[in-house]
Structure 1
Amino acid sequence: MVAVVAILVLTGACTSRTTTSPPATPATGGLSQVLQRGTVRVCSTGDYRPFTYRDPAGAWSGLDIDMASDMAGRLGVRVDVVPTTWASLVDDLNNKCDVAMGGISITLKRAEHALYSSPYLRDGKAAIVRCADSSKFQTLSAIDRPGVRVVVNPGGTNAEFDKDHLHNAQVVNYPDNNTILSQITSGAADVMITDTSEIRWHVSQNPQLCGESLDHPFTFSQKAYLITQPATDLQQWINQWLNITLNDGTYAALSQKYFGAVTGP
């Protein structure tokens, strides 16, 4: 059964297993409830490629969507992806879902209200700019200058970083993280500070964009999955499942597919 599920995930069959339907009742959390319900409810923002993406037709894709399908398959249940936003992620997790997945950084603030799984990817904040302007923005001090326009998606760790570290640059909120980099390519903004994992993916997709400080990011962070706070049994199961996928080739194949390289914690 494990091998079959892994093959289905890696060939993109997860899309057919994934539905988007809001839960009828609030999630109570816990492994036994998931098994009894026959569904694991996964909150995801759908706007953070290559981890999670929801297209205009409502279809989901991404590394963590594939991982969610593998998780559900090994549990023997169905996966329902529940749309959320970065600003409402923790609240939606604790009221609508069992777990949140989709490139979620570990933060102490989130850890006050939910449980984290073991980390599966090392990350950090860096800058993405127009390649033509690459020489101008090679350090954080070069970015934090009057006249520099830094675009940010509100409600997540990017906004927290900008608030804490940018005191002279102009920070411009842009609500759609799926199209936010068009603000840079069009010249409406100069820089976006986000995770190196996201930058590497976008740079591979758009030759106009370049990353700065990718090998020496401004911060250290890790990606993990967020779990409802009472559900320590579900947390333990997810940690064991994640350890298996990190060692049986499942995660490595997906990492190669989405990043072009095998990444790890």
Structure 2
Amino acid sequence: MKTKTWMAACLMLVLISVLALAGCGDQKESNNGGNGASGASGNTSSAGKGNSGGNGEEPPSTNSSMLDQIKSRDKLVVGVKFDTKLFGLKNPMNDEVEGFDVDIAKALANIILGDPAKVELKEVTSKTRMPMLNNGEIDMIVATMTITDERKKEVDFSDVYFKAGQSLLVKKGSAIKGLDDITKGTKVLAVKGSTSVDNIKEKAPDATVLEFENYQDAFSALKAGQGDTLTTDNAILYGMVAQDGNYEVVGDTFTDEPYGIAIKKGETELVDAVNEGLKTLKSNGEYDKIYTQWIGEAPKTD
């Protein structure tokens, strides 16, 4: 009897062990299956994220042109000056930036995006404009920028949209009447990063050239007696005369300063679009209208 009872107990233990092992096997298989499914799901999800950015939308192409990016965001970001009367000056009465360059920028936004209001104006100076363009802060520069071979190494330019020439600004009654009067000891004021600095150093090597951050600072320095004359493009100087009639532009221009719209190097689609836009503005009379409004006369024909 004891033997039978012992054998029954052993059989019960064996049965329990078998059932336990079977259960573990089911659990393990279930877990493996779960991991497999989860892994597949994870791979699909990962692939999905790779293709759609994880939000169901295609990510922006790194190869898209600047023109495509402008159209995609539906806004043109333009670098203009805030301190240059007639071209780009912030009006303290309404806090708006106004001038020839500003209106050209708005007109191009109208052609490219169908609305002159679809433009964001960012302040640049002669010193900051190319770095801001090349680091992507702005799409283009419309800021009294002279086309030069040296600058063409860093940026691309549109066709010429304004022709200027370097001249001199003095207080009325000054003994300086032209470039020949710039001699040793003459203090000439200019703006950092402008072609005017190099030009005056070449044309009047004996002069002392003092450089300022922007045109308003340079003009204020001239009015404060820190210099004898201020030099830059005549178009900019006429804006200063409009601010203060005690000053005048003297002498003939001594350089050619063709202004171009600067665009990041290699963005040929945008350059072409801007050139087409400028042609449209000139053919439909809008360019002449903007020019006359700010410069006071119709542009000279070649």
TM bucket, shorter chain: 0.7 to 0.9
Select which of 66, 75, 79 maps to 2:103. Answer: 66
Pairing 1:82-97 to 2, within 5 Å after superposition: 82-95=122-135, 96-97=137-138
Q: Could you tell me which residue of structure 1 aligns to residue 34 of structure 2?
A: none
Counterpart for residue 235 of structure 1 = 271
SS at match of 2:120: strand
CA distance in 1, matches of 2:184, 2:274: 46
- Show the counterpart of 1:108: 149
Structure 2 partner of 1:190: 228
Instruction: For 2:170 and 2:99, locate their aligned partners in 1 and report how far apart those are by CA, in whole Å.
Output: 24
Structure 1 Cα separation of the partners of residues 191 and 203 of structure 2: 16
1:43 equivalent in alignment to 2:79: yes
Q: Where do 5+ consecutive residues of structure 2 fail to align?
A: 1-61
Report the CA distance between 1:116 and its aligned residue: 0.7
The whole-number CA distance in structure 1 between the counterparts of 2:143 and 2:221 is 23
Give CA deviations for 1:75-99 in whole Å, capped at 9, x if unaligned: 2262112222212221211222211
Q: Choose between structure 1 and 2: higher helix proportion.
A: 2
Please identify the structure whose Cα radius of gyration is greater. 2
Code of the residue aligned with 1:131 in structure 2: it is K
SS in 1 for 2:227: coil
The normalised TM-score by structure 1 is 0.81
Deviation at 1:114, TM superposition (A): 0.9
The separation in 2 between residues aligned to 1:185 and 1:151, in whole angstroms, is 11
Q: Is the contact made by 2:192 and 2:214 (CA closer than 8 Å) also made in structure 1?
A: no
Per-residue deviation, 1:259:
1.0
Secondary structure, counterpart of 2:215 in structure 1? coil
Match status 1:140 vs 2:176: no
8 Å CA contact retained: 2:105, 2:119:
yes
Question: For 2:171, which of 130, 147, 153 is the aligned residue?
Answer: 130
- One-letter amino acid of the structure 2 residue matched with residue 148 of structure 1: T
Residues 65 and 113 of structure 1: CA distance in aligned 2, closer, same or farther (over 3 Å): same
Identical amino acids, percent of aligned pairs: 22
Aligned counterparts of 1:100 and 1:254: Cα–Cα separation in 2: 18
Mapped partners of 1:200, 1:166: distance in 2: 22
- Deviation, structure 1 residue 258: 0.9
Match of 1:34 in 2: 70
- Counterpart of 1:150 in structure 2 is 188
Larger relative contact order, structure 1 or 2 (CA cutoff 8 Å, min sep 6):
1
Amino acid at match of 1:83: E
CA pair 45-174 structure 1, distance change in 2 beyond 3 A: same
* AA in 1 matched with 2:235: S
Q: CA deviation at 1:58?
A: 5.4
Q: CA deviation at 1:118?
A: 0.7
Q: Please, which runs of 5 or more residues in structure 1 have no aligned partner?
A: 1-25
Partner of 1:10: none
- SS of 2:230 mapped into structure 1: strand
2:159–2:275 Cα contact (<8 Å) kept: yes
AA at the equivalent of 2:82:
G
Q: How many residues align?
A: 234
Partner of 2:250: 212
Q: CA–CA distance in 2 between the matches of 1:92 and 1:45?
A: 13
Structure 2 contact 81–87 (Cα < 8 Å) conserved: no
Query: What amino acid does structure 2 have at the position aligned with 1:219?
Result: T
Deviations 1:198-239 (A, max 9, x none): 1223223322111112xx311112111111112101111110
TM-score, normalised with respect to structure 2 = 0.71
1:73 and 1:121 map into 2 onto residues whose CA distance is: 20
